[in-house]
Amino acid sequence: MKKQILTISELKEFGFQEKQGDTLEDGGFYRWWVLYKNDCELHITHQYHKNKKFETGYVEFNGETLKGRELTANDVKFLIELM
């Protein structure tokens, strides 16, 4: 993802729990969020520059990284409904 599709407050609102992030070699860091529902897992990872600016991210559903078009907040909401 090229832009952050959900804010931290939206992630919390939807029930995501933050897992332990980590720092990266270039001084940046990442934050990792997960939602468990009905034997499904939805992971959202945000990677930031060392100046705390969003760099990139990705979404995983049941262990598979979602690829193709850019996802939107509505796409994530729909996945949660499907779970």
Report the distance separating Cα 49 and Cα 64, nearest Å.
Answer: 25
Phi and psi for 12 in degrees, rounded to 5? -65, -40
**Per-residue confidence (pLDDT) for residue 14, from 0 to 100:** 92
The CA-based angle 57-22-81, given to 5 degrees, is 45
Report the distance separating Cα 48 and Cα 31, nearest Å.
Answer: 8
**Tens-of-pLDDT digits for all 83 residues of the chain?**
788 888 889 999 999 999 988 888 888 898 999 999 999 999 999 999 888 888 889 999 999 999 988 899 999 999 999 99
**Per-residue confidence (pLDDT) for residue 18, from 0 to 100:** 93
| DSSP secondary structure code for residue 70 in this structure | P
Report the distance separating Cα 23 and Cα 47, nearest Å.
Answer: 9
**Per-residue confidence (pLDDT) for residue 40, from 0 to 100:** 95
* The model's pTM: 0.85
**Per-residue confidence (pLDDT) for residue 63, from 0 to 100:** 93
